[in-house]
Structure 1
Amino acid sequence: METSRTSSERDLPFYDGVPVDIKGTGWLLIVTSVLIAFLALILIPLRSFPYNLLPTALFVGIPLLALRVSAGQYWICLFHALNGRSLGIMLLFGLATLMGSISVGWVLQQFSEAHANPVANEIALVSTTEIGEAFFVTSVQLVGEELLGILPFLAALWLCVRHLGMSRRLGILIALIVSGLSFGAAHLPTYNWLWAQSLIGIGSARIRLGPRL
């Protein structure tokens, strides 16, 4: 069922039935698709380029397909056209997130063990061509990582607002926590199952990248 807002202010899509009302089964499909896509990314054996694009393409394509099935033509509402202002905001958020992650990482190192991302070590051992190939694959994977963060967020926000009767502000706060914890948990294998580094360090970075209250 298609609905519309009375306010012209741009808002998050889907959580309140706008621009289309996604039912509970649709959200279940979307969240399940995110899990399946993540399993495909980490379980399919990696091969040389371009065959290593397969798990990355599934990581992006499976959730988008589920969103297309659940939201119909309105799946595209998850994306907006880029302009100079949005690019500037992206740059500022990226720098703020980087500085915040460095700060959180430093604090965590004072109290617990930390583990470096293995990709950083691998880059020093490959050729320029291989770096270019890895950059392309990583660029695609970053889209999947955004879906890994935003789709569970929207599902949690929908549950809080539409079914638990919470305010939009409180729903966003809870959804940010859910999204941050799930995003951090997904990085546990990358960081040698160090829960503090993954759930607090990576999870807090996801929260900073999420929508504002």
Structure 2
Amino acid sequence: MNNSKAHRQSAHIEFLKSTGIDFPFYAGHPVTVSAGQWLIVLAAVAVGFMCLTLKVPVLTGDLGIFIRALLFPVIPLVVLRALAGPHWRALFRRLRRADFGWMLGVAALNLVISSLVGVLVMKFLGAEANVAVEALAGQSSTEREWFFLRSIPQLFGEEVLTLLPMLAILYFCYQRLGLSRVKAVLIAWLLSSLMFGLVHLPSYNWNWLQCLLVIGTARLVLTLAYIKTKNILVSTGAHIINDWVIFGIVLLGAAEG
């Protein structure tokens, strides 16, 4: 073991002793997921995303779309369970009272920042509307109920879509490139947020700048909830609050119209 690697591992052990909490799967806490295993997990993330986005003949209608939304996060989590064993639960932590404050705080911060960035992008670069959200205004009460219901597993799936690649990048930067923990976290945070923006390209008529600047920035803020708490439930809660506020604004606008 070279001195640099030994120093990093020693620093990491001290960090764990002082905080008792860290990101999972990249440095032996609770287990390390290897490079090959991460490739399998990322492939499962892609399959889950395709279940959500591609039309499946046998899964149509409100119930079918809801099942596809469930498969979105379930498929990669099942694969992670097969590879990491019971340690897959390291993505989750018991919710504390303070976690609900983080959900609300991060959601509020994201609404402010993404709105400001959105206004600037719209003014100087032009922006596209999200067709799925716009369609909410013209839906029946039943359709809206299904929309909100399936948004819960879908938004949880978006957290899985973001955070598993983030942890994979963290592993690669820390273990393979030998970067410090701080640098590895920053790179993983940025790259996973950019990726999240790019997967939204079809939803925004392939407006690259809008997806990278507006959606990517929103993702950076939402991921702060996970970086702070190491709990996917907290970032999911912040994401749901954020999007439901946006949905509510759309519905209020439709009612006034």
* TM norm. shorter chain > 0.5: yes
Cα separation, 2, equivalents of 1:44 and 1:118: 17
Match of 1:27 in 2: 38
Cα separation, 2, equivalents of 1:71 and 1:37: 18
Cα separation, 1, equivalents of 2:145 and 2:135: 13
Residues matched between the structures, number: 210
1:33-53: CA deviation from partner (whole Å, max 9, x where unpaired): 111211221112472221112
TM-score (norm 2): 0.77
Contact 1:30 1:66 in 2 (8 A): yes
Cα separation, 2, equivalents of 1:129 and 1:80: 34
Contact 1:56 1:137 in 2 (8 A): yes
Distance apart, 1:108 and its partner CA: 0.7
Amino acid at match of 1:25: G
Cα separation, 2, equivalents of 1:186 and 1:108: 19
Distance apart, 1:94 and its partner CA: 0.5
Match of 1:70 in 2: 83
Match of 1:98 in 2: 111
Match of 1:52 in 2: 65
The residue correspondences of 1:107-118 to structure 2 (distance < 5 A) are: 107-118=120-131
How many percent of aligned residue pairs carry the same amino acid? 39
- In the alignment, structure 1 residue 183 sits paired with structure 2 residue 199: no
Q: Alignment partner for residue 10 of structure 1, among 18, 21, 26?
A: 21
Amino acid at match of 1:32: A
Distance apart, 1:62 and its partner CA: 1.0
Contact 1:41 1:55 in 2 (8 A): yes
Gaps of 5+ in 2: 1-12, 229-257
Contact 2:22 2:29 in 1 (8 A): no
Contact 1:118 1:190 in 2 (8 A): yes
Contact 1:156 1:175 in 2 (8 A): yes
Distance apart, 1:7 and its partner CA: 4.1
Distance apart, 1:210 and its partner CA: 2.0
- In the alignment, structure 1 residue 192 sits paired with structure 2 residue 205: yes
Match of 2:146 in 1: 133
Contact 1:27 1:70 in 2 (8 A): no
Amino acid at match of 2:178: G
More helix by share: 2
Structure possessing the higher relative contact order (Cα contacts under 8 Å, 6 or more residues apart): 2
1:52-107: CA deviation from partner (whole Å, max 9, x where unpaired): 12321221111101211121101111011222210111110011011111011011
TM-score (norm 1): 0.93
Q: CA RMSD in A?
A: 1.6
Match of 1:150 in 2: 163
Gaps of 5+ in 1: none
Cα separation, 1, equivalents of 2:223 and 2:65: 29
- In the alignment, structure 1 residue 36 sits paired with structure 2 residue 47: yes
Using the TM superposition, name which of 182-191 and 20-29 deviates more.
Answer: 20-29
Match of 2:174 in 1: 161
